[in-house]
Amino acid sequence: MCTCGCAWDGIEAGTVGRYDDMMKIRGNNIWPAAVDDVVFALPELAEYAGRVYFD
């Protein structure tokens, strides 16, 4: 559990590291570029920050 009280695993994405690095999360291949595409499809968002947490 997170110190803020969240009980779910989070994902950090964006272009902090290599943009083309694929992450495998719970058996799923996740590309930061794909996360950006989904998040920035929301017109109310201009930027975002995310994190990947591993137990």
Residue 33's pLDDT is 82
> 1-53: per-residue pLDDT in tens?
566 666 655 555 555 555 567 888 888 888 888 888 888 899 998 888 777 76
The domain segmentation of the chain, as residue ranges, is 13-48
DSSP string, 2-43: -TTS--S-----SSSS-TT--EEETTEEE-HHHHHHHHTTST
Residue 55's pLDDT is 63
Residue 26's pLDDT is 81
